[in-house]
Amino acid sequence: MEIALNGYYTMILATLVLLLGRFLIVKIRFLSDFNIPEPVAGGLVAGLLVVVLNAFFGLTFKFETQLQTAFMLMFFSSIGLSADFSRLKAGGKPLAIFLMVVAAFILLQNVVGVGMASVLGLEPLIGLVTGSITLTGGHGTAGAWGPVLESRYGITGATTLGIATATFGLVAGGLIGGPVARYLIKKIGHQKLPKPENQTEVEAVAASQSLYSTRHTEEGDQPDEAMFDKPDEIRLITASSTIETLALFAGCMAFAGVMTTVAKGTAFELPTFVWALAGGVIIRNVLTNFFKFDMFDRAIDVFGNASLSLFLAMALLSLRLWELTDLALPVMVILVVQTLVMMLYASFVTFRVMGSDYDAAVLAAGHCGFGMGATPTAIANMQAITDRYGVSYKAFLIVPMVGAFFVDLVNAAILQVFTQLPFLR
């Protein structure tokens, strides 16, 4: 028996999932230590409950999808609206180099995923789900690509698999970053570590208090704007700023709708959420660079966070975990290999390209964090290292900007290329 729930009831259940997730994260230390987002913690419990109801009572649920789609588009619009390319210039040459290192790893991650899937007898596109869609992209990208892979390419259970894989990635990214950095620090020798006596009092306080903090979200997690703006200036979200921000989101979503229709059946046919992200990038950079418009980043962050949480909660309520029974073992094999590849790449590529010094070791730990999980995982990895060995301002400037503002743009472009390859379709 199928129970259909309209938008109101879907919203109520989604908020209950978020409240449950918040409660679980407060009570279960493992969840907070590994930066498991509230909608994931609560949603997986709700998903298990749905499995039980299906197994014992034959119940399935059909949730309103229009709200879920709208929140997904708002989230990707927020990523685009936050991608100010002037920040690339602010980060300088090291940021550009690190972005290229990350882009090369995204390619490798997908090659490994697709190759392993083919060897294990799975659909090659499942390799993308166990590649950068979920590991670099996180839960938000997994939830967005899942329906596309299911409807357009016939990959059963892609959304469910994506959420499960992204959760694995968060845990794995938090586990491997520290050991990788400690190995690299031992390799360069303690004489090359930053000396505490050379830090000013202000620097020491900044290091101990983790001045470079990020907001805690899923995949797509963005840093606090205090990092780039004026840390002592608090800009309150007013009715006027709310209206302005909603107008920007509406523009992104309208652009996405128009371009999805116009590009359908052409070489530029893209998933709607990619057009929403692209629309945000265009609107952001045109308004700020040509019209000197003062974007209210705090409001964009708030709306993006809320949209992501509600989108994930609704997506997790719709999971059909029973569809994954045949995929469990081969997918786990792929994920173990992906974890080893991440460790080797961070140790022998990221570390060496970024200078083979202490900053490079901390960057390697950060890369493990968002290469397998999300930006908050990267920050947690780096904080654990710098608390013990000394501050790395270079790493705490570069990783949040790449992990939050630019990696999703690169990932979307690379994934679009992979999905168009003839042998994968």
What are the pLDDT digits (tens) for 296-340? 888 888 898 888 888 888 887 877 666 666 677 899 999 999 999
Instruction: Over range 257-271, report the average pLDDT.
Output: 85
Whether the Cβ atoms of residue 218 and residue 139 lie closer than 8 Å to each other: yes
Reference 345, options 319, 372, 325; nearest CA is 372
Burial of 89 (C-beta count, 10 Å sphere; 0-12/13-18/19+): exposed
Q: What is the spatial distance between Cα 308 and Cα 315, in angstroms, rounded to a whole number?
A: 10
Pair of tokens at residue 353: 């390209």
CB atoms within 10 A of CB 294: 11
Q: What is the pTM of this model?
A: 0.75
Q: Judge whether residue 221 has pLDDT over 50.
A: no
Q: Which residues pair with 5 in a beta bridge?
A: 63
The DSSP code sequence of 16-65 is HHHHHHHHHHHH-HHHHHTT--HHHHHHHHHHHHHHHHHHHH--EEEE--
Q: What is the spatial distance between Cα 217 and Cα 215, in angstroms, rounded to a whole number?
A: 6
Selected residue with higher pLDDT from 171 and 145: 145
Q: Where are the alpha helices (DSSP H) in 65-121?
A: 66-82, 86-119
Reference 317, options 28, 71, 2, 51; nearest CA is 51
Q: Judge whether residue 214 has pLDDT over 50.
A: no
Selected residue with higher pLDDT from 1 and 365: 365
Residue 235 is predicted with a pLDDT of 53
CB atoms within 10 A of CB 238: 11
Q: Judge whether residue 131 has pLDDT over 90.
A: yes
Instruction: Over range 360-386, report the average pLDDT.
Output: 87
Q: What is the spatial distance between Cα 223 and Cα 232, in angstroms, rounded to a whole number?
A: 16
Burial of 372 (C-beta count, 10 Å sphere; 0-12/13-18/19+): buried
Q: Judge whether residue 256 has pLDDT over 90.
A: yes
Residue 393 is predicted with a pLDDT of 80
CB atoms within 10 A of CB 113: 30
Q: Which residues pair with 61 in a beta bridge?
A: 3
The whole-chain average pLDDT of the chain stands at: 81
**What is the domain partition of the chain in residue ranges?**
66-138+171-230+237-299+324-424
Residue 376 is predicted with a pLDDT of 77
Which phi-psi region, left, alpha or beta, contains residue 387 (left: φ > 0; alpha: ψ -120 to 50)?
alpha
Selected residue with higher pLDDT from 313 and 342: 342
Instruction: Over range 133-153, report the average pLDDT.
Output: 88
Q: Judge whether residue 422 has pLDDT over 80.
A: no
Residue 322 is predicted with a pLDDT of 64
List, in order, residues 6 or more apart from 8 with CB less than 8 Å away: none
Per residue in 167-196, pLDDT tens?
Answer: 888 888 888 988 999 899 988 876 566 655
Q: Which residues pair with 60 in a beta bridge?
A: 2
CB atoms within 10 A of CB 188: 15
